[in-house]
Amino acid sequence: MYDWANSAFATTIMAAVLPVFYSSVAAVGLTKTQATSYWGYTNTIGMLIIALSAPLLGAIADHSGTRKRFLGVFALVGIVFTGLLVLISTGDWLMASILYIFARVGFAGANIFYDSLLPHVAGRDKMDRVSTLGYALGYLGGGLLLSINLAMILRPSFFHIPDPQWSSRFSFLSVAIWWGIFSVPIFKNVKEPEAIPFIGESKKRLKAGFQRLWKTFREIRRFKEAFKFLIAFWIYNDGIGTIIIMAVIFGTEIGIAHGHLIGAILAVQFIGVPFSILFGRLAKLIGAKISILIGLVLYTAIAIGGYFIYDPLHFWMLAILVGFVQGGTQALSRSLYGRLIPRDRSAEFFGFYDISSKFSGIIGPMLFGIVGQITGSSRLGIIALVIFFIGGGVVLTFVNEEKGVMMAGN
């Protein structure tokens, strides 16, 4: 249910409504290419903050038995600053960037501790199924709220809202409310995993966190398959994350209408529900690694096709392809890594996992921004994503899943 709760942020705020609002309302006075670049830089700053703090936070949470507390704190930060986005008006691009950075840090930080609970609520043989079902629920929940928000934007008078701009602003508030309400089940029903004693380490949490972080950094080399997977994930997830963050604002830059952009993202959500589940079943037949590689092949085709987008039909076609692979690839990445790490240190190791996902949220958008400013168009930035999918796929082929699971169990 937490996937259902926080996916509203991923769909309405990260992917669909806020990027368009940022470009067309908050960034009035800037060129379209400048708006795209500044949006990329905004995401880079937010992800850099969480990437640098993720492993330390994970180490502290593991050893103090506070995974759920950290989850709650970061979720609260994300919810509050998401709600404050309702205050953004014409020309407020700097305010929009600042509020979004805090909201994104809350969203991403909470996910570290949410993901770390996966090995504790599902056995190693059920992680693929549980993770993909979580993503499926996330697509469904995020898609339902986005449907309501799209209706508000297209028909504001029906909801007694003065204009589409206010509809967008109310949609930001709706995400905060949705996220808060549907976060309740995880705090009510999921038990806090036992803490790991601070043996031979400081009793002070911060100091012990640094000590454990340094020890984990040295020890992670023993889990060679998990380490190789992290490198692969860092590379290919850069491409996935950039497509999620930059697709709609790029569509705005090249002149695709607001309704088509949000409608296509909405289609991704509902297509993602059955295909996330399908990827879980596919992993059971051929393995998680091979299933992820299939997804990366399709992502390579999507990146190449993105260069040739000129009208709404092209955007819709690529959005449908993204819906086929996005949820399944990310869900299986989460569950595969969960099997390659020691269960009792999941938050700590998922801190490193999230460093990979957050640094991938730094380089891709930054590349998009730089290429856009240099060339005056962001099309070449899309082609550059091919490097991430091919490079990550090549590294992933060297991961021995069976050996990694054995090592993690020992």
The pLDDT value recorded for residue 354 is 67
The pLDDT value recorded for residue 343 is 76
- Other C-beta atoms within 10 Å of 15: how many? 26
The pLDDT value recorded for residue 293 is 96
Residue 164: burial class (beta carbons within 10 Å; 0-12, 13-18, 19+) = middle
CA 256/CA 246 separation, integer angstroms:
14
The pLDDT value recorded for residue 198 is 54
Instruction: Output the pTM of the full model.
Output: 0.74
The pLDDT value recorded for residue 113 is 86
Per-residue pLDDT of the chain (410 residues; tens, 9 = 90+): 999 999 999 999 998 899 989 989 999 988 888 888 898 889 888 888 877 776 677 667 766 678 899 899 999 999 999 999 999 999 999 999 999 999 999 998 898 889 888 888 887 778 888 888 888 899 899 999 999 999 999 899 999 999 999 999 999 999 999 999 999 999 999 988 877 665 555 456 556 656 666 776 676 777 889 889 988 998 898 888 888 777 888 888 888 887 888 888 888 888 988 998 898 899 989 999 999 999 999 999 998 998 898 889 999 999 999 989 988 898 899 889 988 988 777 766 776 776 666 565 667 777 777 777 787 777 887 887 888 899 999 999 999 988 988 888 76
The pLDDT value recorded for residue 240 is 87
- Structural domain spans, the chain: 2-189+202-409
The pLDDT value recorded for residue 53 is 76
The pLDDT value recorded for residue 75 is 97
The pLDDT value recorded for residue 396 is 96
Please determine, looking at this structure, whether the domain spanning 2-189+202-409 carries the CATH number 3.40.50.2000.
Answer: no
Q: What does the block give as tokens for 118?
A: 């996966």
Q: What does the block give as tokens for 281?
A: 């079943």
CA 343/CA 258 separation, integer angstroms:
45
Q: Determine contact, residues 84/143, Cβ cutoff 8 Å.
A: no
Residue 52 CA: distances (Å) to CA of 108, 157, 202: 12, 45, 22
CA 203/CA 64 separation, integer angstroms:
10
Q: Determine contact, residues 143/266, Cβ cutoff 8 Å.
A: yes
Angle at 11 between CA 244 and CA 95, to 5 degrees: 85
